[in-house]
Structures are given as C-alpha cells and as structure tokens.
C-alpha cells in the first residue's frame, strides 16, 4: 500500500506506509507456522511497528503474541500492540536487553520467535510490495526504500530484481543512524555504538540474512 507516489522524468519514486508493510511480513510469518508450531504462540521484540503487526496477525489466527518492547517506545505504538491483543513485556532500550528478554519469554512459553526483520518469512512477506508495484506500474525503474534492520528492502529487492534485473534499489537512512551505509563501506556488518535519530523504527542494525 502506498502513501504517495511522484513521477519525475519517467522515474517513479514511492514512499511506503511503514505500518502497512509490516503487516505483510507478519501475516506471512504467522500463517507459515503449522498448528504444532503455532499452539504456544509467537514472540518478538520491536519498538512498535512490527510488534503491532505481529499482534494483529496472531489475533487473526487465534494464538498468543508475546511482544518485548523497549521502555522508550512511543506510547501510541504500545497502545496499538495492546489494542490488537499482544501481551507486552518490557525491556531496557538496548538491543541486547530486547534479545535477552525475548529469549527468556521463549524459554518460559515455548512460543516461536518471529524476528522483526532477520527472518526469511518476514522478508518474503515484504517482497509482495514489489509484486504489486510492478504489476500496477511496470515502467518503474527506481525504488527508494527506508533501511533499518533490512527486512523491507531485502524483500523488495529480491522480488523487484527477479521481475526486472535492471531496476535500481536505493536505501535511505538517517545520517545519525547510518549503520547500513557504513556496513557497505566496510564490507561487513557494522553496528554503531550510538544512534541519533527520532525515527525509532530506523534504529536497528542489519542481520546476517538482510546483509
């Protein structure tokens, strides 16, 4: 789903609704689970967008969703998770705390971990954006995609390049959280010691799959 598109000299630049694309990946992940896997629910860690999407997808399937959220997450995003029936478990703001807390929930519940971006099921779900875009406007030759953990751009690039190998995929991230840029320069995943951006959804670092 698109929030807006602008056509400039034959190049169509699209901006995606973050909440909408997260639901694609979450649904694909949730409905990829067989009944034995799904019975104990799912767990994830997220600052809000993936959390809300996974909570809603789990609700639609009728299974529990345990959502680890950092204490500094925006209140509106936390309320979305609760509204969709997700069970909120708080963590400290660091990625280390988020992951440790999620692992403890896994051990306690037997739930399945659905990583917010470094998961093939999530990546595949996000790739449906490219299928719809290029079906509706095959002349698109450039896509600009926000990058954080890389789930969205991985799916978009895989699907778009499969349809049109010549299409350009450009990644956009805040200068104060430019770990993806630095990773490309260094030729390896580079994690920043500090990030400086109000865009809470763009503070994650690349995973081995999205890299």
Dihedral angle at the C-alpha atoms of 105, 109, 111, 117, nearest 10 degrees? -10
Three-class DSSP category at 183? helix
Catalytic residue among 9, 32, 46, 47: 47
| 184 counts as catalytic | no
Task: Please give the Cα distance from 21 to 10 (Å, whole number).
Answer: 25
Catalytic residue among 3, 9, 22, 97: 22
Residue 5: closest CA among 126, 167, 132: 132
| 22 counts as catalytic | yes
Task: Please give the Cα distance from 203 to 196 (Å, whole number).
Answer: 8
| Host H or E run for residue 195 | none
DSSP 90: E
Active-site residue set: 22, 47
């Amino acid at each position: 789903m698109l929030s807006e598109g602008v056509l400039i000299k034959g190049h169509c630049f699209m901006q995606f609704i973050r909440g909408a694309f997260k639901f694609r990946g979450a649904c694909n992940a949730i409905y990829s689970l067989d009944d034995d896997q799904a019975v104990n629910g799912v767990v994830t860690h997220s600052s809000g967008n993936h959390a809300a999407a996974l909570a809603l997808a789990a609700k639609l399937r009728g299974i529990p969703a345990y959502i680890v959220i950092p204490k500094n997450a925006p209140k509106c995003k936390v309320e979305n998770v609760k509204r969709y029936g997700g069970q909120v478990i708080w963590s400290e703001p660091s990625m280390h705390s988020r992951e440790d807390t999620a692992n403890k929930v896994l051990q306690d519940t037997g739930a399945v971990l659905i990583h917010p971006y470094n998961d093939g099921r999530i990546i595949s779900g996000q790739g449906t954006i490219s299928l719809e875009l290029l079906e509706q406007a095959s002349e698109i030759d450039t896509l600009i995609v926000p990058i954080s953990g890389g789930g969205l751009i991985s799916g978009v690039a895989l699907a778009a390049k499969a349809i049109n190998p010549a299409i350009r995929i450009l990644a956009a991230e805040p200068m104060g959280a430019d770990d993806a840029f630095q990773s490309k320069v260094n030729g390896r995943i580079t994690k920043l010691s500090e990030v400086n951006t109000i865009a809470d959804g763009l503070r994650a670092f690349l995973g081995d799959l999205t890299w």
